[in-house]
Amino acid sequence: MRLNTVEFLLRQSWEGIVRNGLISLAAITNIAVALMVLGAIVLTGANLEHMAALEAKAAVITVDLEDGADPADVQAELLADLRVDPKQTRFVSKDEALRQTAQRLGLHLPQSEPEVAADLLAELLGRNPLPNSFRVKTGDPQDIPAVAAQAEKIPGVAEVRYGQQVTEKLLTLAEGTKIAGLLVGLIMTGATLLIIGTTIRLTIYARRREIRIMQLVGATNWFIGIPFVIEGVWQGLGGALVAVAVLLPGYTYVQAYIDQNLEFLSLLYSPSILILFALVILGCGILFGALGSAISLRRYLQTV
Amino acid sequence: MIHLQQVSVVYPNGTRALSDIDLHIDRGEFAFITGASGSGKSTLLKLLYRDIVPTEGKVIVDGQDVAKLPPGRVPYLRRKVGVVFQDFRLLPDKTVWENVGFALDVLGASRREKHHKVPLALELVGLSPKAEAYPGQLSAGEQQRVCIARSLVNMPPVLLADEPTGNLDPGMSWEIVQLLDDIGERDTTVIMATHDQDMVDRMGKRVVQLVQGVVVRDVKEGGKYDAP
Ligand SMILES: Nc1ncnc2c1ncn2[C@@H]1O[C@H](COP(=O)(O)OP(=O)(O)OP(=O)(O)O)[C@@H](O)[C@H]1O
Ligand SMILES: [Mg+2]
C-alpha cells in the first residue's frame, strides 16, 4: 500500500475518534473494565494452577516399615519401580523421625539440641513409637497414587500415606475458575463487541455523506471500511492499555503483600509472565476493537 | 460504450421514472439529455453509474451488464464513470484541493500522482486560486466546478454531467461545456443532462429528449433543444 493511502486511512480513523470523543472515551472505559475483569480471572486461575503444581511437586509418599523389616530390602523393592526418583528417596530412621517430631513439637528446647528433645520425648512416652520409614518422591507427581499402591504390596511395609487432598482441591478450584472465567469472558466479550459496534455505528452515521461520496467515486467497501476498523482498534488498544496499567501494578502489589504476610502462599511472578499477560490483554483489546467495528460495518455497507 | 435495451425504472414508491428506453451511445460520443424537470434525466444517469438498477431491461456500460455486476465489482465500474452531480456532493470539511484529491485517495493513488493531477484538474475548471477554500466559502457555480474537477481528475472513459451549468453564468457555462467537449474529443464519452436551450442549440451535438420517462426524440447530429 502506498504511503499516501496509509496516511489517508489513519487520518480518517483518527478523525472518527476525535469527532465522537466522549463516546469514544466511554467505549474505551468499558473495554478497560471488561479486560480488567477478564485479566483478573485469568491471573487467579493461573495462580491456582501454579499452587496446585507446587503442592504436587512437593508431595511425598511416606512408606512406614514394620518393626523388624530390613530397610535395605524395602529400599531395593521401592527403587525397582522406575517411576520412583532414587535421588529424592530418603530413609528416615525411627530415631530421626522422633527427633523431627520432637523438633516440630518444639518442647521449648533450643533448636540446636534436637537429640535432647528426642530423648526427653522417648522418656516421656516410655519408648519410641515411630516406625522406620522412607520418604519417596516420584519423577511425575501424577504417578503418586500408583506408586503408593505398588509400595503397599512390598513385604515389610506397614502403611503408605501421601497427602494429595490439597493438590486435588486446588486443581478443582483452578478448573472451576477456568469455567467461570470462560463464561464471564464470553459475556464480557459480547458486551465489548456491542459497545465498540455502537460507537462505530455512530461514526458511520456521522460520516454517511462521506461514505456515500466514497462509494460514488469508486472506493471499495474494503477501503471505506478500514478507517472504521482502525478506529475500533484504537479504542480496543486504549482500553487494553488502561487495563494493563491498572492490573500490572495492582497484581505486583498483591503479590508483594502475600509474599510478606502469607508465607505458605506464593504467587506467580516473573517479568516474562507479566509481559506475556500484558501482550495477551493488548491482543484481546485489538481483536475486540477490530471485530466490533467490522461487524457493524458489514451490516451498514450491506444495506447501502 | 453504453447500451440501454427496453429499460424501465419504477421507484420503490411506485413512481414510474423511465419507460421502455432504447439508447446506444458510442465511445467518444457527446450527447445531451434534455427534457422538462421530472422527465427522468437524472434517473437515466443514475442507471449508468449503477446508483440504481433497472426494474426491467438491460443497461450495459463498457460491456458490463450493470444489474448483474456483483457488489464487489461496482466500485470498479464507478471508477470508469465520472459523475458531475446535480447537487455537487462536496465534503464541507475538506478544502477544494482535498475534495478533488479525495477521489484519488480512495483509489489508492500515490502522493506524487495526486500532486500532479489535482492542480491540473483545478486549472482546467479555473479554480486554482480557490484551492484552499472550503465549499461553504464558494458560490454555487464554483462548487459546481469543484465537482467537475473531481469527476475528471482520474480521466474516466465515461463522464456523466447532471446539469453542470445550472448555476453558471452564460460565459462560464460555455467554457465548461467547451471543456467537456474537449474532454470528449479524447475518446471520452460525455453525457450531459441539461435545461440550457442556448447551449444545446449552439453546440449542435446529439440530443436525446425525454418526456415523462420516454425518449421522444433522438437526433444524432446538429440537434436542437426543441423539435424543429
Ligand atoms: N428516489 C426516488 N424515489 C421516488 N421517485 C423518484 C426518486 N427520484 C426521482 N423520482 C421521481 O422520478 C421522476 C424522474 O426524476 P428525475 O430526477 O430523473 O428527473 P429529472 O429529469 O432529473 O428532473 P430535474 O430536471 O428536475 O433534475 C420524477 O417524477 C421524480 O419525482
Ligand atoms: Mg435531475
B76 CB near ligand 1 (under 6 Å): no
Q: For B132-163, what is each residue's pLDDT tens digit?
A: 999 999 988 899 899 999 998 988 999 999 99
Q: Whose alpha carbon is nearest atom 17 of ligand 1?
A: B42
Same domain, A199 and A279: yes
pLDDT value at position B156?
Answer: 92
Answer yes or no: is the C-beta of B197 below 6 A from any ligand 1 atom.
Answer: no
Q: Of the residues A140, A163, A186, which one is the last residue of a structural domain?
A: A163
Contacts 24+ apart (CB under 8 A), B220-224: B223/B32, B224/B200
Q: For A132, which DSSP code? A: P
Domain match, A176 and A293 both = yes
Count of structural domains within chain A: 2
Select from B42, B48, B165 the residue to mutate for testing ligand 1; criterion: most ligand atoms less than 8 Å from CB.
Answer: B42
| A contacts of B157 (beta carbons < 8 Å) | none
CATH superfamily of B2-219: P-loop containing nucleotide triphosphate hydrolases (3.40.50.300)
A68, A131: one domain = yes
Q: What is the pLDDT of residue A111?
A: 55
Instruction: Enumerate residue ranges in chain A where pLDDT < 70.
Output: 1, 104-118, 164-167, 263-265, 303-304
Residues 6+ apart with CB under 8 A from B55: B8, B9, B10
Same domain assignment for residues A253 and A212: yes
> What is the domain-level CATH number for residue A68?
3.30.70.3040
Q: What is the full DSSP assignment across A33-61?
A: HHHHHHHHHHHHHHHHHHHHHHHHHH--E
Note down the domain range covering A125: 57-163
Q: How far is B19 from chain A (nearest CA, A)?
A: 25
Cross-strand pairs, B5: B58
Ligand 1 contact via B54 beta carbon (within 6 Å): no
Among A125, A146, A163, residue at a domain's last position: A163
- Best of B42, B99, B105, B118 to substitute, by most chain A Cβ atoms within 10 angstroms, is B105
Query: Does residue A184 sit in the same domain as residue A238?
Result: yes
Q: Which of A163, A186, A202 is at the close of a domain?
A: A163
Three cell numbers at A2? 502506498
Global confidence as pTM: 0.71
The C-alpha cell of A146 is what? 500408583
Q: Which atom of ligand 1 is nearest to the CA of B210?
A: 21
Q: Is B196's C-beta closer than 6 angstroms to any atom of ligand 1?
A: no
Question: What is the pLDDT at residue A112?
Answer: 53
Domains of chain B, residue spans = 2-219
Residues A291, A188 share a domain: yes
**Residue bearing cell 484538474:** B121
> Within 10 Å of residue A6's Cβ, how many Cβ atoms?
12
Contact state of B89 with A212 under an 8 Å Cβ cutoff: yes
Going by alpha carbons, the residue nearest to atom 26 of ligand 1 is: B37
| Same domain, yes or no: A238 and A259 | yes
Which amino acid type is present at position B142? E
Nearest chain A residue to B93, by CA = A210
Do A112 and A147 belong together in one domain?
Answer: yes
Tell me B71's DSSP state: G
Contact A5 B105 (CB under 8 A): yes
Find chain B residues with C-beta within 8 A of A224's C-beta: 106
C-alpha radius of gyration, chain A, whole number: 31
Q: Are residues A213 and A65 in the same domain?
A: no
Cβ–Cβ contact A72 with B under 8 A: no
Q: What is the pLDDT of residue A109?
A: 55
Residue nearest to atom 30 of ligand 1 (CA): B38
For ligand 2, a single-atom ion, the residues with CB < 5 A are B 42, 86
Contact B154, B121 (CB under 8 A): no
* Cβ–Cβ below 8 Å for A213 and B79: no
Same domain? A176 vs A294: yes
Residue-by-residue pLDDT tens, chain B, 228 positions: 899 999 999 999 999 999 999 999 999 899 999 999 999 999 999 999 999 999 999 999 999 999 999 988 999 999 999 999 888 899 998 999 999 999 998 888 899 999 999 999 999 888 999 999 999 999 888 998 999 999 989 889 999 999 988 878 888 888 888 888 888 787 889 999 998 888 888 888 999 999 999 999 998 877 777 765
Nearest CA in chain A to B100: A217
CB contact A6 to B (< 8 Å): no
Say yes or no: A214 and A66 in one domain: no
Using CA coordinates, name the residue in chain A closest to B110: A4
Residues A240 and A95 in one domain: no
